[in-house]
Amino acid sequence: IGQEAVAAGIESAITSDDAIVTAYRQHGTALGRGIPANECMAELMGKETGIVKGKGGSMHFFDKSRRYFGGNGIVGAQIPIGTGIAFAEKYRGTNNLCVTMFGDGAARQGALHESFNMAMTWKLPVLYICENNGYAMGTSVERTSNVMELYKLGYAYDMPSETVDGMNPESVHEAVSNAAAHIREGKGPYYLEIRTYRYKGHSVS
């Protein structure tokens, strides 16, 4: 709840052949990808008619046919997974990219830095998106990170990085469209910090 503009803006700016991998706050993202609401609800209730036959539950939706690779319950686990999917796309010579979504809490995972370094070194077709609500699961960014402008993490790897107003679907659409064009030109990854709130004294650029 409160991050609907992110999923809407992403889906309107990419293709159905592009892959998506995300974290456990994924219900809206799954619906945006086209997974039927009935199958999503059945999965939440542990029913066999769910998207993964009731075995995944809330955090672990998956639909290979729709290029939707989760839904992951381990904080930050999807970041190297998405990087690997992007590597596979480049290896196969497709024009697809992998949207790899994570929250502000996962931005402190060491796997993020390993993935950023690998993606830039090999110029992988991956769009990293941090859905920043400012408090992760309950602890503010100010208390957990020396770098509060999370888009700046990409600068350490010379990765194109910027902030986006996550309350405006048009802003998300435009930013994702521009990033996708950059990636499809073979220039490597892109990083968007999409904020669904504003820091005191800071504005979304």
User: What is the pLDDT tens value at each position of the chain, 205 positions in all?
Assistant: 788 999 999 999 999 999 999 998 899 999 999 999 999 999 999 999 999 999 999 999 999 999 999 999 899 999 999 999 999 999 999 999 999 999 999 999 999 999 999 999 999 999 999 999 999 888 898 898 999 999 999 999 999 999 999 999 999 999 999 999 999 999 999 999 999 986 554 555 4
pLDDT for the residue 185 = 98
Q: Bridge partners of 62?
A: none
Closest C-alpha to 179, from 123, 128, 119: 128
d(CA 35, CA 68): 9
pLDDT for the residue 196 = 92
Please report, for residues 42, 62, 87, 101, 161, the alpha-carbon distance to residue 90 in angstroms, rounded to integers and kept in the order given.
Answer: 35, 22, 5, 19, 21
First to last CA, the chain: 23
